[in-house]
Structure 1
Amino acid sequence: MNKPIHITSEIGKLKTVLLHRPGKELENLMPDYLDELLFDDIPFLEQAQVEHDRFAQLLRDKEIEVLYLEDLAAEAIADPEVKAAFIEEYLDEANIRGTELKALIHDMLSSMTDMRELIDKTMAGIQKVELPELKNKGLADMIESDYPFAIDPMPNLYFTRDPFATMGHGVSLNKMYSVTRRRETLYGKYIFKYHPRFKDADVPLVYDRTETTRIEGGDELILSKDLLAVGISQRTDAASIEKLAKNIFDKNLGFKRVLAFDIGSERKFMHLDTVFTMVDYDKFTIHPEIEGDLTVYSISQGENGELDIKEEHETLENILNKYLGINNVQLIRCGGNNLTAAAREQWNDGSNTLTIAPGEVVVYDRNPITNKKLEEAGVKLNYIPGSELVRGRGGPRCMSMPLVREDI
């Protein structure tokens, strides 16, 4: 287990994890543009950082190595040629409509000698007031003169689970649902290609950001060394799951089957891990509202390398029992059996737990009913505050990308 990526379950003891500490990108959120940036509210950055630091320290106290996306990205572009390539690609994807404006920003970023400062700026976005006045405004610059940003911020970055997902020794480098999040995957591309920790490991890509159909890490769960679960959701297409499954089987990463969970396309169920997470060998959190209409498809490798896809007709418990090889799967319902509590606590990510060892999880402290149900089921809870972090609609699993877990 000396590879930089080693993930064969959701519950094996967590050894190394990737986070992003919320930065100035949150201070560039504005009420008029929240919908485009996938936020419902504006977190208070200072308090969000306090909460995130508590989260990171809790993990360190559990002897988990904590890495930061912004640090790895800065280290990955240390070489001048790599830095130049990153800036070019970043600007090409930043939706800058004015030629002179793009050249101005290119000069600004290229002149930066501190790579961490450069990465932070690309994440935070660039307000027009930060730049010198354009001498020769083109039509695009004139028409968009009221829009405050030359480059939009990336406020969703602290949800490191989504831009890419680790599975086996490989990575799914994702095509994000929203245009506003697609640049996030650029950091993963450069980290896995150029960072000293990964560049010589020949990390296999099982999905690439250049694909035409979308998939996000919150929909990708590694239930065992043989079994993946992927949500068909607001953020992930069914066609993407077929592509992912074929790549996984063709690259012989060890997985034998993919379960595709059709959870619908509502924002409140944006990812599979907002309604379903694994917390122990035989225990899962689930939001009761998805159970009645949930359809599950089983995907395996058939003859001649073709995919064998079948609709499952049993209960979710029986499907999980069958493919995990156990007899007594327990579904722990978010909010208990109270639909009002379930809806409220699911909105506050009561189902979005990060398992750090079998039967031990990290949860927000703000979901008392769900947390009590977890404790009654024998799960050990580690609480973190989340009054500001939760405003981005994500919990501890959303905010973490495991890189190494022990096998179970």
Structure 2
Amino acid sequence: MTPAPYGVHSEVGALRSVIVHRPDLSLERLTPSNHHELLFDDVLWVEHARKEHDAFVELLRGRGIEVHEHQQLLAEALEADPRAKQDAVERTVSHLTVGPVMVDDVRAELASWDGVRLARHLIGGLTKEELGSARGDAGSLVAVAARPTDFILPPLPNSLFQRDPAAWLYDGLCLNPLFWHARRLETVNQALIYRYHPMFADAGIRFWYPPQGDDTRLDEEDFGRASVEGGDMMPIGRGTVAIGISERSTAHMVEKLALTLFEGGGAERVIAVTIPPSRTYMHLDTVFTFLDVDKATAFMPVMEGATAYSLRPGDRTESLDVHPERSVFAAFEDALGISSLDVVPTGGDDVQQAREQYGSANNFLALEPGVVVGYHRNQWTNARIAEHGVEVLEIEGFELGKGRGGARCMTCPTRRDGI
């Protein structure tokens, strides 16, 4: 069988396949005392969040899009190759996570679990109580000092937002070094899927980062100085990638990716877009997304003040030509070869715009040119976009939206057509 032609060649070309993550055990672990640490603004009603997510997935499948579930892929990867479980437990269980005394016992215990159970806890977290007799209380200070409900492995509730830890740029994949400590193990789980799942293992995937797919380097990077997340990464088409420099993505990684893309022939131009480092708009796609080849939506209080730099190959090895652009929108118009980008502002008056941006009003997922998915709650923005000839397919996000991400954030496309 010929491997599937994985690759994401635009932001709005026909979407063929995506990976999502159904609300799970990790979201059930959110409490009033830990939700800020785990980067959520509130505690979700998980049962209702599942219903909202199931409706979203049903909409995608109803439009002919292939949808894969992250936890299921991880479980299948762990069963597909004997090396997968060993890799998983060695990457997540170390003297730094469980203490030196418990390492061997905990690794042996987790390696004995089947893929379904192990995947559930790699994402959902593992408490001292759930670990049971393998925790080695007699000789471990870590185990003795821990309460039964303390985590041996942390929950990863932001797995809901599949966009960030892994992102396809044209015909290559980035396994991203994430900014916040609470999210870093998400990328390890993604690496396990792409390394061991039968759907990907023999597909000949190109890796833009880490080099040659050496995902063990994700454990070694100085993340605070070199981080990037998929919400800032946009393969906009015609050989150009836009990447935000934001709260969570640094210029260091934009520079690294640009050099790698140019060297590997993955792109001809990278447009770096600077936005203020803020939780309110943590990624570029929280203030700007494409709706059609020549249409986009933007939160203008941020995007009007954003600066853009076009990066192209320099005149010597490991160098770049960095060119300041007149505006972000002008840079996109030039890159896409269009006379004018129709930018639809967030809807309503100043107060309504701020409220809707906070509710992911600019975080749309394009299914094809001129057809997008967004939250029903953002009525002012949805109406304004519809006036510009774009079809808005609305989903409920009262609970899902509490993690500060919309339809684009919740999906990792693995196949999308160009424009």
Mapping of residues 87-106 of structure 1, within 5 Å: 87-92=89-94, 95-106=96-107
Code of the aligned partner of 1:362: V
Q: Secondary structure at the match of 1:198?
A: helix
- Aligned to 1:197, the other structure's residue is in SS state helix
1:9-408 aligned at under 5 Å gives the runs: 9-78=10-79, 79-92=81-94, 95-113=96-114, 115-132=115-132, 134-145=136-147, 148-208=150-210, 210=218, 211-212=221-222, 213-253=226-266, 255-305=267-317, 306-312=319-325, 314-336=326-348, 338-408=349-419
* Secondary structure in 1 matching 2:330: helix
- How many residues are treated as equivalent by the alignment? 403
Give the residue type in structure 1 aligned to 2:315. Answer: E
User: Residues 33 and 146 of structure 1: is their aligned pair in 2 closer, same or farther, counting only changes over 3 Å?
Assistant: farther
Structure 1 runs not aligned, ≥5 long: none
The answer (yes or no) to whether the contact 2:167–2:230 under 8 Å persists in 1 is yes
**TM-superposed deviation, 1:186:** 1.1
Q: Do the aligned partners of 2:233 and 2:243 also contact (CA within 8 Å) in 1?
A: yes
Could you state the TM-score of these two structures normalised by the residue count of structure 1? 0.94
* Letter paired with 2:137: K
State the Cα distance separating 1:230 from its structure 2 match.
0.4
Unaligned runs of at least 5 residues, structure 2:
none
Distance in 2 (CA, whole Å) between partners of 1:135 and 1:401 is 41
Asked if the contact 1:4/1:197 (under 8 Å) is kept, the reply is: no
- Say what the alpha-carbon RMSD is for the aligned residues: 1.9
Please list every run of at least 4 consecutive aligned residues from structure 1 whose deviation after the TM superposition is greater than 6 angstroms. Answer: none
Q: Which moved more, 1:327-336 or 1:359-368?
A: 327-336
CA distance in 2, matches of 1:24, 1:102: 24
Question: 2:60 & 2:304 partners in 1: Cα distance?
Answer: 36
When structure 1 is superposed on structure 2, of 268-277 and 285-294 the one drifting more is 285-294
CA distance in 2, matches of 1:322, 1:407: 17
Deviation of 1:290 (Å): 0.5
Give the counterpart letter for 2:322 in structure 1. I
Percent identity of the aligned residues? 37
Letter in 1 for 2:177: K
C-alpha contact (below 8 Å) 2:3/2:202 kept by paired residues = no
Q: Is the 8 A contact 1:11 1:357 kept in 2?
A: yes
Instruction: Indicate if the aligned counterparts of 2:128 and 2:147 stay in contact, CA closer than 8 A.
Output: no
Query: Whole-Å Cα distance in 2 between the matches of residues 55 and 92 of structure 1?
Result: 37
Q: 2:307–2:327: 8 Å Cα contact kept in structure 1? A: no
Report if the CA contact (8 A) 1:100-1:136 is conserved: no
Secondary structure at the aligned position of 2:198 is classed as coil
Mapped partners of 2:251, 2:387: distance in 1:
36
Answer yes or no: is the 8 Å Cα contact 1:176–1:182 preserved in 2.
yes
Output the CA distance in 1 between the equivalents of 2:176 and 2:199: 20
- The structural deviation recorded for 1:347 is 0.8
Q: Per-residue CA shift, 1:218-243, capped at 9, x if unaligned? A: 00011113111100001000010000
